[in-house]
Amino acid sequence: QQQVKQSPQSLIVQKGGIPIINCAYENTAFDYFPWYQQFPGKGPALLIAIRPDVSEKKEGRFTISFNKSAKQFSLHIMDSQPGDSATYFCAASLGGGTYKYIFGTGTRLKVLA
């Protein structure tokens, strides 16, 4: 119940394409869903986050779509660039004071020039 399942494991797209990364969860007590971007040898950096009372959120080229009934959420990267090549992690937080995150297993994205 505490898991967050992420797919695909890896993804290759052409420059300008729209990669989509999906995550699913079971625990309906999760109340905050961030996405992190991580480059090799670096710590994860927050990209964008959403709460379950919102179905979509956009920040620049990054969009989160959230389907509360299906317990799924996804990250879309518009007009992807080679500089977006990184590993992306979804996460879910239980809130309630701890705010610890349960992370997905990551998606390694490569954007071809």
Partner 1 sequence: DTGVSQDPRHKITKRGQNVTFRCDPISEHNRLYWYRQTLGQGPEFLTYFQNEAQLEKSRLLSDRFSAERPKGSFSTLEIQRTEQGDSAMYLCASSTGTSGNTIYFGEGSWLTVV
Q: How far is the CB of 109 from partner 1 (least distance, A)?
A: 14
Strand ranges inside the chain, DSSP E: 4-7, 10-14, 20-25, 33-38, 45-50, 56-59, 62-67, 72-77, 86-93, 101-103, 107-112
Site string for partner 1, 68-87 (x = CB under 8 A): --------------------
Strand partners, 10: 108
Contacts to partner 1 from residues 27-66, by CB under 8 A: 31-32, 34, 36, 41-46, 49
The residues that touch partner 1, with contacts defined as CB under 8 A, are: 6, 31-32, 34, 36, 41-46, 49, 89, 91, 93, 95, 98-106
